[in-house]
Structure 1
Amino acid sequence: MRANGDLALGVDVGGSYVKMCLVRGEEVLARRAFPRPDLSPKDTAAYIAAQAEEISPGIIGEARLGVAVAGAISRSGGGLRAHCPNIRGWWGVDLEELFEPLGFGSGLQALNDANAHAYAEWRVGSAVGAKNFVMIALGTGVGGAIFLEGKLYEGSHGMAGEIGHMKVSPRGPRCNCGKRGCLESFFSSYSIPRELERAGVKVESMKDAFERAKTDRRVLSFIDRASAKMAQIIINVVHLFDPELVVLGGGVAKSRELLLPLLRRHIGRMVFEPFRESFEIRFSSLDEYAGALGAALFALDRGTGGAP
């Protein structure tokens, strides 16, 4: 069946949940989220296909498909391979081999979940009208995306923007990627509770940590130190790319009142003076379906030749 030109399904495969968004143009027709099944990649893809059919019977083959994953997407060797350190079994997975046999057809579009989120921000969110901006998405891990001159920059192999694996301390905590000192090992939904527990403070989640920081000076001090690592990366990216805008998304968007003053203080201390007033920090204006929405819009635009 030939894909409908203005219909697209976006699927965001995260560390904990799968989110789906069906669009016609920019109109959202349906959304669904469900816990990611602890299955093989092949069986997970089949489960996703079944969920898609429940959303809209007959959608497979009719809609263009965009897939976002919590990891790097490589396009070397002629395939679309996902490398996801936070999803067991999803390392080196060929996405076309997963989804095309299920009836989705050729023309699958795939991108990192932060790139998908950034694409949605650029199309309908906080970055509308921006030519040069950087997105940092904090969730299970830390993702990044770069827009240069109005185009999503994907690099030579589709893997650009892995901000979460930029090093901030070579002898720092171990990251889920296996290396030490990544930003993600200091500032993510798994590392903040882990490192606080090692310091003798028990929190249930990153959200809980930010809430506790309002009244617990020990937790606030820890969040402040982690924010310094985040600010270090923001400054490095600003110095390298000279963006007009840095967009922060993910779970931290709900803690902007606490986080933004901390970041501004550390950035003010580290920034190269000519850059001090050159960029703005904004938080995402979209909800938890931003990755799925961006994947759908990207598939729609790329399929019609409109994606930058």
Structure 2
Amino acid sequence: MSKKHGHPLGIDVGGSGIKGAPVDLDQGAFAAKRLKILTPKPATPEAVIEVIGQIVEHFADEVGDAPIGVTVPAVVTHGTVRSAANIDRTWIDFDGERAMEKALGRDVTLVNDADAAGYAELHYGAASKEDGLVILTTLGTGIGSALLYDNMLVPNSELGHLEIDGYDAEKRAASSIKDIEGLTYPQYAERLQRYYEVVEALFSPDLFVVGGGVSKDAAEFLPLLKLRTPIIPAVLQNKAGIIGAARLAAEAAGTWLPAKD
């Protein structure tokens, strides 16, 4: 918790909705029911920050003066957004962290959404007992990724944008493509097989963790993959981004330390 009171707030900015909840970091769980507000159209930085402000106000009693972690589906370096594969292009080179801190009047940590999800799975989920290199991928509108090595996050890996067989990987293997092309799970597994075997050859990970909405159906496609590396579904599913963002924010602000991890 913060020096005064309150749980840190995690906020996950997505293409269709902006979701937030205060997080109990000792438990790795929401401390109150999640609030979701539709993502504004167009999702400019100013419009998104206004919605984030509404979420902060909604949880004012639970959060107090605690820090806020915010995810975006983009590369983020030192608080500045550097890409816009699946968000409004006006975010590119926008100092989102500073703008949010100015608008909200409190500490903010801005982070890539897959990195936040990976960090949560590392400490509370599927990767919590794994040493070495863990690669989390989120299969959704695109493909997000997080590299986790010996309990450390290596940010902004963007493995969904590897060029494989002449294609940007997520244009062939994101779960949105499965829906658009009407692929069966066995057909989709063929796409994933090619994707994961390339990533495996490049990085030789100790574990793959698969997140994103489609992970709830992991039993339909993960057993069809033939890899050297174990591959398992994420545990926290769509809660992971919020939980990971809140923990990263609390650690950055120095307001919370784990009792035992």
TM-score tier (shorter): 0.7 to 0.9
- For the Cα contact (< 8 Å) 2:137–2:145, is it kept in 1? yes
1:259 aligns with 2:209: no
1:81 aligns with 2:81: yes
- For the Cα contact (< 8 Å) 1:3–1:64, is it kept in 2? no
Task: Supply the distance in 2 between the matched residues of 1:55 and 1:105 (Cα, whole angstroms).
Answer: 14
Match of 2:201 among 232, 236, 244: 236
Relative to structure 1, is the Cα distance of residues 261 and 80 closer, same or farther in structure 2, using a 3 angstrom cutoff? Answer: same
Relative to structure 1, is the Cα distance of residues 101 and 53 closer, same or farther in structure 2, using a 3 angstrom cutoff? Answer: same
Deviation string 1:96-126 (CA, Å, 9 cap, x unpaired) is 23311223324x2222111100111111111
1:232 to partner: Cα distance:
2.5
1:165 aligns with 2:161: yes
Q: Would you say how many aligned residue pairs link Structure 1 and Structure 2?
A: 251
1:6 to partner: Cα distance:
6.6
- For the Cα contact (< 8 Å) 2:7–2:62, is it kept in 1? no
Match of 1:52 among 19, 33, 56: 56
Q: Match of 1:135?
A: 136
Task: Supply the distance in 2 between the matched residues of 1:21 and 1:120 (Cα, whole angstroms).
Answer: 14
User: Map of 1:56-135 to 2, 5 A cutoff?
Assistant: 56-57=60-61, 59=63, 62-75=65-78, 79-88=79-88, 89-106=90-107, 108-132=108-132, 133-135=134-136
- For the Cα contact (< 8 Å) 1:21–1:289, is it kept in 2? no
1:15 aligns with 2:1: no
1:163 to partner: Cα distance:
0.8
Relative to structure 1, is the Cα distance of residues 5 and 54 closer, same or farther in structure 2, using a 3 angstrom cutoff? Answer: closer
Task: Supply the distance in 1 between the matched residues of 2:35 and 2:162 (Cα, whole angstroms).
Answer: 33
Unmatched 5+ residue regions in structure 2? none
Relative to structure 1, is the Cα distance of residues 45 and 231 closer, same or farther in structure 2, using a 3 angstrom cutoff? Answer: same
Relative to structure 1, is the Cα distance of residues 252 and 190 closer, same or farther in structure 2, using a 3 angstrom cutoff? Answer: closer
1:12 to partner: Cα distance:
0.9
**Structure whose alpha-carbon radius of gyration is higher:** 1
Relative to structure 1, is the Cα distance of residues 303 and 232 closer, same or farther in structure 2, using a 3 angstrom cutoff? Answer: same
1:59 to partner: Cα distance:
4.0
Q: Match of 1:226?
A: 191
RMSD between aligned residues = 2.5
Task: Supply the distance in 2 between the matched residues of 1:297 and 1:289 (Cα, whole angstroms).
Answer: 13
1:42 is paired with a residue of what secondary structure? helix
1:229 to partner: Cα distance:
2.5
Q: Match of 1:217?
A: none
2:128 is paired with a residue of what secondary structure? coil
Match of 1:187 among 154, 163, 173: 173
1:87 to partner: Cα distance:
1.2
2:123 is paired with a residue of what secondary structure? helix
2:173 is paired with a residue of what secondary structure? coil
- For the Cα contact (< 8 Å) 1:18–1:33, is it kept in 2? yes
Q: Match of 1:286?
A: 236
1:3 to partner: Cα distance:
6.3
TM-score by length of 1: 0.73
2:94 is paired with a residue of what secondary structure? strand
1:167 to partner: Cα distance:
1.1
Deviation string 1:34-55 (CA, Å, 9 cap, x unpaired) is 2211142112202211122113
- For the Cα contact (< 8 Å) 1:67–1:111, is it kept in 2? yes
Task: Supply the distance in 2 between the matched residues of 1:288 and 1:119 (Cα, whole angstroms).
Answer: 13
Residue type matched to 2:191 in 1? A
Relative to structure 1, is the Cα distance of residues 25 and 190 closer, same or farther in structure 2, using a 3 angstrom cutoff? Answer: closer
- For the Cα contact (< 8 Å) 1:6–1:24, is it kept in 2? no
1:14 to partner: Cα distance:
1.4
Relative to structure 1, is the Cα distance of residues 44 and 259 closer, same or farther in structure 2, using a 3 angstrom cutoff? Answer: same
Relative to structure 1, is the Cα distance of residues 236 and 260 closer, same or farther in structure 2, using a 3 angstrom cutoff? Answer: same
Relative to structure 1, is the Cα distance of residues 50 and 82 closer, same or farther in structure 2, using a 3 angstrom cutoff? Answer: farther
Task: Supply the distance in 1 between the matched residues of 2:48 and 2:252 (Cα, whole angstroms).
Answer: 25
1:288 is paired with a residue of what secondary structure? helix
In percent, how many aligned pairs have the same letter?
Answer: 27
1:29 aligns with 2:31: yes
